[in-house]
Each structure stands twice: as structure tokens, then as C-alpha cells.
A and B are shown apart, each in its own frame.
Chain A
Amino acid sequence: MSYKPDEAILADYLAGELTKEEQAKVESYLTEHPEMKKELEEIQALQQMMGKVEDKEVVAPSFVFEEPPAVVITKQRSTDRLIKSTLAVAASITLLLVAGYFTQFSITNGDNGLQVSFSAPPTSSNPAYTEADIKSWMQQAMTQNNSDLVAQINAVKNELGETDLNKLASQPATSGTIDRELLNQYINELRLANRDIIQGLLQDTERSQQEYLTRVMTDFADFMELQRQKDLDAIQLQFTSLANGNEGAELDSYLNSE
């Protein structure tokens, strides 16, 4: 037989992680190679011995996880910079205002256009036109403007005709109702979509909760099963040790004859 299990297969064998097929292969190899079988048995005994070493009990230190201090410092620096620049802007504005006050800086928008000066504002320089003059000019301009507007409106009215105007008058009412219907439809759609989203979300969370619970329960069941198995093993062991020496001798002779 040419089959020889490699070290990786043997590791799997020792860990009890072979498939039944591979397990059978290795076992048949071992019956043909007793020296290998002996070595593996000794390693298994070692594993059993290693299993007797218990964990050391330790108390976990209570860590205090904080943001890295570097980050905190940079944040402070940036606020400082902000305050400084704001103060600088404020100070320069104040300086300008103070300087403007002392130099009697002024900007006036008079009849002669925009005037910028560093002394008291100049007194009105063009008294030639009186208030009455200006008023009459304005009146003239307005009346002319009004008559132009009336003429234009009349022209437009003629163009459109009476019926069109009536149509236009009734238009806003209908468009308003359409808008309202559309709005209602839109709101309903939104409501339905929201309901679907929330339903989906609820179903999803319910499902994941259920899956999670099942997983926990399965593991817990495994744990209970393991405990039960251990207890059974312990009881079995007690019984075995109670059995008398004759049976042991019989078993030995039986095994030897095999």
C-alpha cells in the first residue's frame, strides 16, 4: 500500500478533524505501521496531559480609552486661531471708524453726484432749482407715464378679446384643484413608500433578532449537552473503577486475543 499520511493529515487526525473517509484511511495505515501508531498514541497522551493545565485567573485592568491627546491639542489650536483672526478683523474695523471720526471722513450722495471728503460736508451748492420746480417736473413725468401705460393696456385688451380674459379669470381656480389632487396623490405615495420601508425594516430586524437568538440558543444547547456528556462520563468512570479486577483481567485477555 503506497498511502502515507503527511504531517498535515496527522495534525488533523490528532485534532480529530478528519472526514470519516480520511480517518479510516489513516487508521488502516496505522494498523500496518504499529511504530507510527505508538507515536501517535503517545502524542495523544501528551495532549491529554496538556489539557490538565488550567488557565491562570487574572483580573483585566480597566483601560481608559481616550481620544489621542494630539487630536485634542490641535482642536484647541484651531479655535485659538479663529478667535485671533476675528479679533484682528474687529480691531481693524474699530481703527478705521476711529480714524474716520477724527479726520471727519464723509461720503455724501448729493445733486452733484457722490462726494467723498475729509472735512465737514459741503453745503448745498446749487440753489438755482426750487422745490416747486422739481415737483412740477415730477408731475409732468408721472402723468405722461400713466397715459402711456393706459394706452398700452388698451392695446393689449383689444388684442386678447373678452373671452380670453374670462378664460384667464377662471384658470387659477381649476389649476388650484389639480394641484391639490396631485398633492394628495403625492402625499399618499409618500405615505405608502414610508410604510413599506418601515415594514421592511421591522421584518429585517425581527429576522436578525430571531437568527441571533437561535444562534445563542444553539450554542447554549451545545454547552448544556457538553456538560451533560461530561457528567455522564464522570459517572461512567466511577462505575468502571468500581468494577472488580477480574473483569479487567478478562478484558486484557480478550484484547490480547484480538
Chain B
Amino acid sequence: MPVDTLLDIAMVHADTTIENAQRGDEKALNRLVSLWYKRIYNYVHKYHADHDIASDLAQKTFIQMFKHISKLKEADRFKPWLYRIATNLCFEESRQMKRNKLVSIHEGGDEDDVKVKMQVLEAKGNFFNPERNFQQGELAEALVAALNELSEDQRSVVIMKEYEGMKFTEIAEAMDASENTVKTWMYRGLKNLRVILEGKQITKETVHYEL
């Protein structure tokens, strides 16, 4: 885990807090929430590209954490364990969405949402216009929308690696898969993401960001 901020240092050295939380110490539990909430929210947000879902699933993740933390065997496996809860909730949400989509033909469904978002962005003239510079916020929106077109496995692995700074061993634990499988998902995910973005004219030539 890269240690870019003081918060990261606090997260890396939270073993005692985790052990206290395992004994049901409320203060320690609340401290874990304040340490990890932002990370889990951002992970789910990139996965589902929706603020409400991200808040909801982040809260559910911590409720699950509260219920099951006593079963966690080693405190230093807390991070992959927490991401596993979050990932399972993300998958569950996707399945729920698909079911809802089957029930209502006209509305709902993550793919439709992404399409609508892309159409809105296109209407704004963001795409197919090489002269246009992407602003920070718009680039983020477009990238997250493109991430949503990846398969679930590839999507979670790419987000965990690129944004959550996790090691392949940790991701393998969170995904309940072998390290090699995770690496394959990672490579394919990035490859597919590049193709998707290229299709939307988002490449290093069209995007000018401040270095």
C-alpha cells in the first residue's frame, strides 16, 4: 500500500484498533469506519458510478464488518477482507439490478444508465471532438462510465489495483481467486478499457490534463 498521506499511515498501523474492534470496542469500530469509509465509498462509486448506491453499499459494508469482524482471524488481513465484503455487495447489487431490469422493460439496469450518461456527455460535445480538452471532472465521469462497461471481475480488479493501491495477493484474497487469475483479469481489463475509450475518442492525444 502506498503511503501518500498521514491517513494512509494511520490505516496501515491500525492493527491494535482492529483487535480492539474484534473484542466489540465501539470506539475502535467507529474509528475503523472513519479510517476506511472514504476508501470503500470511492471503490463502490467507481464500480457502480452512482452516489446513492455508493453511500448505501459503503454503509452496508461497515454493518457487515461490525457483524463479522470477530471471525476475522488475522488483523493484518483486514484490508482484503473488507474489500471482499464490499465487492460481494457490489456483485449482489448488479444481480439485483439485472433482476429489476427483467421485471421492468423500459427502465433500470446499469448498462442503460451508462448509455444514458454517455449520451449526455456526447450531447455536451465531449466526444468525437478532438479539439476539445477534457476537464478534470469530465474525464473522471467518462472513465468511470467506461469502467462500467467492463465485466464485473475485470472491473473490480482494475479499480482495486489502479485506485486502491492493493497488491495482487490482497486482490486475490478479496476476489477469492488465484493470483494468476487476478493478473489475467487485470491485463484484460486494462486492454478492454483502452479499446472502449478509444471508441469514444478518449486517448492520450485527445485528453490534455495538467501534469
Is A32 an interface position by the 8 A CB rule? Answer: no
Size of the chain A interface, CB-CB below 8 angstroms = 41
- Asked if A65 and B45 make an inter-chain contact with CB atoms under 8 angstroms apart, the answer reads no
Given contacts A17-B168, A50-B143, contact A58 B37 (CB under 8 A): yes
* B162 touching A7, Cβ below 8 Å: no
The answer to whether A54 touches B13, judged by C-beta atoms less than 8 angstroms apart, is no
Residues of chain B within 8 A (CB-CB) of A53 are: 139-140, 143-144, 163
Residues of chain B lying within 8 A (CB to CB) of residue A215: 13
Please determine whether B13 and A216 come into contact, CB atoms closer than 8 angstroms.
yes
Q: Would you give the shortest CB distance from A45 to chain B, in whole angstroms? A: 4
Q: Is B34 part of the contact surface with A, judged by Cβ < 8 Å?
A: yes
Q: Which residues of A contact B5 (CB under 8 A)?
A: 223
B9 touches A220 (CB 8 A): yes
Q: Residues of B within 8 Å of A, CB-based: how many?
A: 51
Q: For B140, what are the chain A residues with a Cβ–Cβ distance below 8 Å?
A: 52-54
In this assembly, does A57 line the interface, its C-beta being within 8 Å of a C-beta of chain B? Answer: yes
Assembled-state Cα–Cα distance A217/B183 (Å): 32
Complex CA gap A49/B38 in Å reads 22
Asked if B41 lies at the interface with its beta carbon under 8 angstroms from chain A, I say yes
Q: Give chain A interface residues in 229-249, CB to chain B under 8 Å.
A: 237
Q: What's the least CB distance linking A71 to chain B, in Å? A: 12
Residue-wise, chain A 50-66 has the 8 Å CB interface mask toward B (1 for contact) of: 11111111101111010
Q: With A11-B186, A219-B9 in contact, do A237 and B143 touch (Cβ < 8 Å)?
A: no
Report Cα–Cα, A12/B171, bound state, in Å: 13
Q: Is B136 an interface residue (CB 8 A)?
A: yes
B26 to chain A, nearest CB (A): 5
Interface positions, chain B 47-62, Cβ under 8 Å from A, are 55, 59, 62
Question: Once the chains are docked, how many angstroms separate the CA of A39 from the CA of B190?
Answer: 11
Check B45–A56 contact: CB distance below 8 A. Answer: yes
Chain A residue at smallest Cβ distance from B202: A49
Chain B, range 34-93, C-beta contacts under 8 Å to A: 34, 37-38, 41-42, 45, 55, 59, 62-63, 66
Interface residues of A (CB under 8 A from B): 6-12, 14-15, 17, 39, 42-43, 45-58, 60-63, 65, 212, 215-216, 219-220, 222-223, 226, 237
| 5 nearest A-B residue pairs (beta carbon) | A60-B37, A8-B183, A11-B183, A45-B204, A7-B187
